[in-house]
Structure 1
């Protein structure tokens, strides 16, 4: 049945107008920042006065609030642009994998790693790369580790290569890496983190989360197809999410299970997640937690649906029907020299993940 193009054209016009407003506000913020830096350089001696310091803090806070708002608008707008099919459309889920395969893959289990909010590219930071190499060497031969998935963009690329705003992120990364002013580098790094934090918040939202979670599930399913996955031969898919990647994994799990037509298992490492995602069809969720991890503990407070006394919440209803497996690691924190990617605790985290994989295999 043909669909009228008038509503889509109207939405495109609205999007173009929103993009113009976005760029105008962004340019205004940059100009205000330049004016502020000029004033700071000209009157640097006056910064020692308490009144000047207070004024500088107020202006800096104002700029940060505007930047966060702009990044949030971009995040939501980009997701719905993709959902409307303006970026080559959404594929038919039934055609993600061919009906017949010429040669079956040697891998029956697929371990998909989703990084935390620090990720800005398809590649991972050095410590995370070393951790993944250690994990890859510890898993069974019939298990394939899938890495390099950017969980905070709608296409299979990093922020630097996104279709609508790649130019903006490229400039931002350049300033973050090379600008001589430390405050400018800090604001640029904060903007990248803010984009990813907002994506985690969108994923946990019951209204807009399903849109972004479907997009991420589709991205993972496509990558699995490239890696040789096929529902007729595979046994399961395991999502391993670190920090905010835990929210992305839980929010995506049930949709990915429908797309791939095999059981999906979730393992969070220092996970920060809401538990709002649809988990009715997911049987296994495990948590690797550190005894000195304040970020994961704060995440539980930020998402009150995980508190035990709210027994009607989505997360607590799931726990009453399914066992939640916890792997506590004494002394481990969220990141840094005592985090899960540190030399001290890397082996313990890998062992916990492998124990959970073996437990699932024995049950199956």
Structure 2
């Protein structure tokens, strides 16, 4: 009987996977042919950014790209605790958490009539939709277009939050799980549109390693030996294999752009996850507190403000 379980599971979710595979590509094609424009406006209750006051330049902008649980502007898998902890611990940063990494149209799933019905009657489709979007973003046939769409969405949200192109202010993309695929793919678009130095932090990052990181300032890989989901990504995608030395990921490794920061014994999800507020370390800190401290320490070390920086429209005298 146990041998039949995988087959039964596949038969159960197979139709959903097929439907989601088609829907994920459909949204990208709708964007590509211009049938629908992206949704740049935010709801009235969602600010363009939180953290550092808008009347002065922050030390850096941090964009949080959540995992596949992202469905609306405000939700995250942990109820926003990681973003709130970063804001509380580093008030000098301006933080954006509203980007829709799994929608080329920047349109949240929640609020669409069809998806609201599915959420009530077949909730697994919401999960599978974002899973399939991650694979569309990784697919070499769709990757350039997906990167341009979501990279452009991030650039627009940064402008709305006060980012001045050419200012030299660092942009940090913090990608959790599948959000890492989107973060790595957005580097070129941000460099092109904003001329911004882009730092990457992946937290349990699930990505294919095929995106060009030439214009990334650097990447920190926050990982754990107990994170089997991230480990699947390193084995699933050939560009992550050491054998392919000329892949973009291996080029970045060879150039010294990738640094590993261990967060053992955290898991990818669940009560022992990277962002668990209840799981405790030997020093008494929660996993959430340690992860927050690691992110803030990296940003402060790598994104120090330049005292000689000239903001657009200003002069240093």
RMSD: 2.7
Match of 1:118 among 69, 92, 98: 69
Structure 2 Cα separation of the partners of residues 264 and 54 of structure 1: 47
* Equivalent residue for 1:171, pick from 117, 122, 136: 117
Change (3 A) 1:56 1:342: closer
Task: Tell me if 1:335 matches 2:285.
Answer: no
SS in 1 for 2:201: strand
The secondary structure found in structure 1 opposite 2:223 is strand
Distance 1:342 1:89, change over 3 A: closer
Q: Which runs of 5+ in 1 are unaligned?
A: 1-52, 92-102, 176-187
Q: What CA distance in whole angstroms lies between the structure 2 residues aligned with 1:63 and 1:332? A: 31
Which residue is 2:27 aligned to? 78
2:275 pairs with 1:326: no
Residues 89 and 329 of structure 1: is their aligned pair in 2 closer, same or farther, counting only changes over 3 Å? closer
Gaps of 5+ in 2: 41-53, 278-285, 307-317
The aligned counterpart of 2:130 is 196
Q: Secondary structure of the residue that 1:338 maps to in structure 2?
A: coil
CA deviation map 1:222-256 (0-9, x unaligned): 11121111124451111000001011101112212
Q: 1:89 Cα deviation (Å)?
A: 8.0
Q: Count residues with an aligned counterpart.
A: 285
Specify the alignment match of 2:96 in structure 1: 146
| Structure with greater Cα Rg | 1
User: Which residue of 2 is the match for residue 3 of structure 1?
Assistant: none
Distance in 2, Cα, partners of 1:57 & 1:358: 46
Equivalent residue, structure 2, for 1:97: none
Structure that is richer in helix per residue: 1
Deviation at 1:126, TM superposition (A): 6.7
Equivalence for 1:65: 14
> Kindly tell me: are residues 174 and 104 of structure 1, through their superposed partners in 2, closer, same or farther at Cα, counting changes over 3 Å?
same
Aligned to 2:43: none
- The match for 2:177 is 243
TM-score when normalising by structure 1 = 0.72
**Partner of 1:266 in structure 2?**
200
Check 1:88–1:337 CA distance in 2 against 1; reply closer, same or farther (3 A cut).
Answer: closer
Alignment partner of 1:354 is 2:303: no
Shifted more, 352-361 versus 284-293: the winner is: 352-361
Helix, strand or coil: the match of 1:159?
A: coil
Is the 2:165–2:193 contact (alpha carbons within 8 Å) kept by the matching residues of 1? no
SS of match in other structure, 1:174: helix
Do the aligned partners of residues 135 and 89 (structure 1) sit closer, same or farther apart at CA in structure 2, a change above 3 Å counting? closer
Q: Does 1:158 align with 2:94?
A: no
Could you tell me how far 1:296 is from its partner in structure 2?
0.8
Quick check: 306-315 or 325-334, which moved more?
306-315
Give me the whole-angstrom Cα distance separating, in 2, the residues matched to 1:211 and 1:121: 22
